[in-house]
């Protein structure tokens, strides 16, 4: 599919706007967990769209585009994640994302288009609310795969994307709370209201498979909250945050990016499916690799990670699955039976998940 730059930006903006306006009011999108699938089971159905749990509105939007509009799989998936990117109430993606240690929102995203075997990515992108669309522009209009930092922003502006302040007042206040709590000896005064320090590793991943068996994937995030400026997680890295092969299927992830990068985890999940594993089984197998690759300092006394990671996968025949290190996670699915959340498989019960100590807020003197 070839679009002019003007058509590309217009189509992307229209899809995003429609998703944001109509998403929350979409019929049938209720907070219900589908328990018709037990752990280890999956359905084979095409088309199907799978995403992280925060993608319930997104999978409904993407599925509608696939079935009603015969949209390209990557266009549908990106329109789905645009909902979260443009939602200021979602502090882990796009507009309103929690900032880095300097109070600056830096965004990462990547995408892959199975039919054309192409990919695009951006990292440490500032002041552009939809990094997923910028990543697609990198794929569509350049011979590169990834642009970062100031270069990524310059490219986005040249492509016609609009610059805006991504730091909402809520996220700014959260950053001020975090900053004030770093030390009792600095010049930052603590807030007078109750202090709840947020630590997000939230992301949205989406995988879209159409009736013909074409697959595309996208992952977008504002990254780890309060990160060192310039830190890049797994989301913009092809083969880590997401990966697809049109002969096999697609996979993506959310959670601790550093752990995902070291395992080349989304690529590995697709390779597990290539070897004949069902999507859920492939996700679990990759999680075992992540646990095995975890540094000792991040393990508890039972050699279990002090963090969680979630994987999502769809095979070319339409089977889908998800798994996390610890129980309690869910993922979003849309197919002919509707959009819903489904419980993920897991390696360990959540009751056995160790708590990672967080720095306490020290009230300022005087």
Across the beta sheet with 309-315, what order do the strands follow?
242-245, 249-255, 309-315, 320-326, 345-348
Q: Are 279 and 315 in contact (CB under 8 A)?
A: yes
Decide if 85 contacts 94 (C-beta within 8 A): yes
> How many angstroms separate the CA atoms of 308 and 290, rounded?
10
Active-site residue, 294 included = no
Q: Is residue 289 within 8 Å of 265, Cβ to Cβ?
A: yes
Task: Give which of 329, 289, 278, 260 is closest to 110, Cα–Cα.
Answer: 260
Selected catalytic residue, list 203, 217, 269, 286: 203
What DSSP character marks residue 323? E
Query: Strand, helix or coil at 254?
Result: strand
According to DSSP, residue 193 is labeled: S
Burial class (CB in 10 A: 0-12, 13-18, 19+), 143: exposed
Phi, psi of 28 (to 5 degrees): 85, -5
Taking alpha carbons only, the member of 165, 233, 243, 244 closest to residue 202 is 233
Contact 65, 47 (CB under 8 A): no
Q: What is the DSSP string of 93-139?
A: SSTT----TTS---EEEEEEETTTTEEEEEEEE-S-S-HHHHHHHHH
Residue 88 in tokens: 């200021």
> Which residues are designated catalytic?
203
């Amino acid at each position: 599919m070839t679009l002019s730059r003007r058509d590309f930006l217009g189509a992307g903006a229209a899809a995003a706007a429609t998703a944001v306006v109509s998403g929350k009011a979409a019929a049938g999108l209720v907070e219900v967990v589908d328990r018709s699938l037990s752990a280890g089971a999956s359905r084979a159905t095409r088309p199907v769209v799978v995403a992280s749990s925060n993608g319930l509105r997104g999978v409904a939007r993407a599925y509608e585009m696939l079935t009603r509009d015969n949209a390209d799989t990557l266009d549908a998936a990106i329109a789905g994640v645009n909902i979260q990117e443009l939602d200021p109430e979602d502090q882990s993606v796009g507009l309103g994302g929690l900032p880095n240690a300097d109070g600056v929102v830096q965004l990462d995203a990547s995408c892959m288009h199975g039919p054309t075997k192409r990919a695009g990515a951006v990292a440490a992108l500032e002041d552009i609310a939809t990094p997923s669309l910028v990543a697609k522009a990198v794929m569509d209009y350049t011979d590169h795969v990834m642009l970062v930092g100031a270069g990524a922003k310059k490219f986005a502006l040249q492509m016609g994307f609009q610059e805006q302040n991504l730091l909402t007042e809520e996220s700014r206040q959260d950053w001020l709370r975090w900053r004030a709590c770093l030390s009792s000896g600095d010049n930052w005064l603590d807030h007078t209201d109750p202090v709840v320090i947020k630590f997000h590793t939230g992301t949205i991943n989406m995988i879209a498979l159409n009736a013909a068996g074409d697959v595309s994937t996208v992952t977008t995030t504002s990254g780890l909250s309060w990160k060192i400026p310039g830190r890049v997680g797994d989301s913009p890295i092809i083969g880590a945050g997401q990966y697809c092969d049109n002969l096999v299927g697609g996979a993506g992830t959310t959670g601790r990016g550093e752990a995902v990068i070291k395992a080349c985890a989304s690529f590995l999940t697709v390779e597990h499916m290539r070897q004949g594993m069902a999507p859920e089984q492939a996700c679990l197998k990759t999680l075992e690799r992540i646990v095995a690759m975890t540094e000792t300092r991040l393990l508890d006394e039972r050699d279990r990670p002090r963090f969680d990671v979630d994987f999502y996968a769809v095979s070319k025949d339409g089977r889908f699955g998800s798994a996390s290190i610890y129980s309690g996670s869910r993922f979003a699915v849309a197919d002919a039976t509707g959009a819903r959340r489904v419980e993920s498989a897991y390696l360990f019960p959540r009751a056995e998940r160790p708590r990672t100590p967080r720095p306490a807020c020290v009230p300022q003197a005087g």
